[in-house]
């Protein structure tokens, strides 16, 4: 199994005519990609997700810091595979030929390439299109073909940059099923970027949040939810109550409105604990409650409470 350890990585890009002005994209970041786990890399546009992936794949080089592949600085590319975001494949090759090309580059023999291609193509519903030229493929089909090529050599670790882009809902589903299956059966470590947080919730076991050049969070999804105590917010709607002013002094009133001719009072927002305390008070005072509203925090709220640092 392959473990990638990133240590104090810093990367900047030159700006201006002679690139003297440096723009720091990643600053002193460290983390370990856990073996056999599915880790999602999330962050707003320009957070440095693709830069980080390119650094791991040694497509570009860091200013400072080191990356270790199973403890060594020599990249273990034989055991890794990378799917760039929306790659343009060789349009004049057939799907089968493209897979053969990628397989041969990975030193696979003809039989293995054929069997593995067919196995993956069946799972991604592409087996009938393999004899067609890639230029006749739709964007989703091209993306699925690129995904097949990524898993061809049974890599120990796969890095996928926006693997679901260009896919329709059915395509997303079958790709997710494939990723889950490969992670479980072949114990492949998966590291993917996405902007769709539903993908993270459905697929990821670990989340790595990049924001403002740094890692803001790295851990399990459950840890993220536990860490954020204000997971849900509550509002309590009361029927007309004569001593509303007292209540108003004790608790906040977010709005006052009339429904069906009566005055109703909406109290909140409360955390779970605050809500329980408020309800207990209302029960003791025998105040009638019309409704308790719960607004669940989405993963987006948890990950980007202030909207993320945009560049």
Q: Which residues bind another protein (CB under 8 A)?
A: 51, 54, 57, 59-61, 77, 80-90, 92-93, 97, 101-102, 104-106, 133, 146, 149
In the complex with another protein, the residue whose CB is nearer, 90 or 281, is 90
Give least dist CB 89 to another protein, A: 7
State which residue, 23 or 173, has the beta carbon closest to another protein. 23
Report the length, in residues, of the chain: 311
DSSP character string of 60-123: S--SEEEEEETTBSS--GGGEEEE-SS----TTSBHHHHHHHHHHHTT--HHHHHHHHHHHHHH
The least distance separating another protein from the CB of residue 234, rounded to whole angstroms, comes to: 47
**Closer CB to another protein, residue 153 or residue 175?**
153
Closer residue to another protein (CB): 104 or 310: 104
Output the smallest distance, CB 156 to another protein, in A.
Answer: 13
- The nearer residue to another protein, 70 or 205, going by C-beta atoms, is 70
For residue 308, CA distances in Å to 30, 43, 45 come to 20, 8, 9
**Least Å from the CB of residue 97 to another protein:** 7
* Least distance (Å) between residue 302 CB and another protein: 31
Q: Which residues, 6+ apart, have CB-to-CB distance to 237 below 8 Å?
A: 264, 265, 266, 267, 289, 290, 291, 292, 293
Shortest Cβ distance from residue 30 to another protein (Å)? 22
Distance of CA 137 to the CA centre of its chain: 27
Whole-Å CA distances, 164 to 189, 201, 245: 18, 14, 53
CB-nearer residue toward another protein: 51 or 188: 51
Here the tokens at position 277 are 């305390």
Q: How far is the CB of 277 from another protein (least distance, A)?
A: 54
The single residue listed with the structure tokens 């995904």 is 147
How many angstroms separate the CA atoms of 43 and 48, rounded?
Answer: 8
| Minimum distance, C-beta of residue 82 to another protein, in the bound complex (Å) | 5
Q: Which C-beta is closer to another protein: that of 106 or that of 232? A: 106
Looking at the Cβ atoms of 89 and 215, the one nearer to another protein is 89
Least Cα distance to 193 among 175, 214, 208 occurs for: 208
Strand ranges of the sheet holding 157-161, from the earlier edge strand across to the other edge: 80-83, 157-161, 189-193, 38-42, 206-211, 214-220
Identify any residues that bridge with 208 across adjacent strands, giving them in sequence order: 41, 218
β-partners of residue 264 are: 257
Whether 234 and 68 have beta carbons less than 8 Å apart is answered as no
């Amino acid at each position: 199994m392959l473990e990638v350890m990133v240590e104090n990585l810093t990367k900047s890009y030159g700006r201006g005519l002679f690139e003297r002005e440096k723009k720091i994209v990643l600053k002193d970041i460290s983390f370990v990609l856990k073996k056999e786990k599915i880790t999602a890399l999330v962050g707003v546009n320009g957070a440095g997700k693709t830069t980080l992936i390119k650094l791991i794949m040694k497509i570009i080089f860091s200013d400072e810091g080191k990356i270790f592949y199973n403890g060594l600085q020599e990249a273990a590319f034989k055991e890794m595979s990378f799917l760039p975001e929306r790659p343009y494949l060789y349009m004049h090759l057939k799907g089968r030929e493209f897979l053969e090309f990628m397989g041969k580059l990975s030193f696979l023999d003809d039989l293995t390439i054929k069997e593995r291609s067919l196995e993956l193509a069946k799972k991604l519903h592409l087996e009938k299109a393999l004899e067609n030229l890639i230029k006749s493929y739709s964007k989703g089909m091209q993306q699925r073909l690129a995904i097949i090529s990524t898993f061809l050599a049974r890599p120990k670790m796969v890095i996928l940059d926006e693997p679901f882009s260009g896919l329709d809902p059915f395509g997303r589903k079958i790709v997710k099923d494939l990723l889950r299956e490969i992670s479980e059966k072949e114990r492949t470590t998966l590291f993917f970027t996405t902007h769709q947080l539903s993908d993270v919730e459905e697929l990821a076991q670990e989340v790595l949040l990049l924001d403002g050049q740094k890692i803001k969070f790295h851990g399990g999804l459950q840890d993220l939810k536990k860490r954020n105590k204000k997971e849900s917010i509550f509002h309590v709607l009361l029927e007309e109550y004569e001593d509303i002013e007292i209540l108003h002094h004790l608790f906040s009133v977010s709005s006052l409105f009339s429904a069906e001719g009566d005055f109703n009072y909406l109290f909140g927002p409360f955390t779970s604990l605050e809500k329980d305390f408020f309800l207990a008070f209302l029960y003791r005072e025998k105040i009638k409650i019309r409704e308790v509203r719960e607004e669940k925090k989405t993963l987006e709220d948890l990950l980007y409470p202030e909207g993320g640092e945009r560049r």
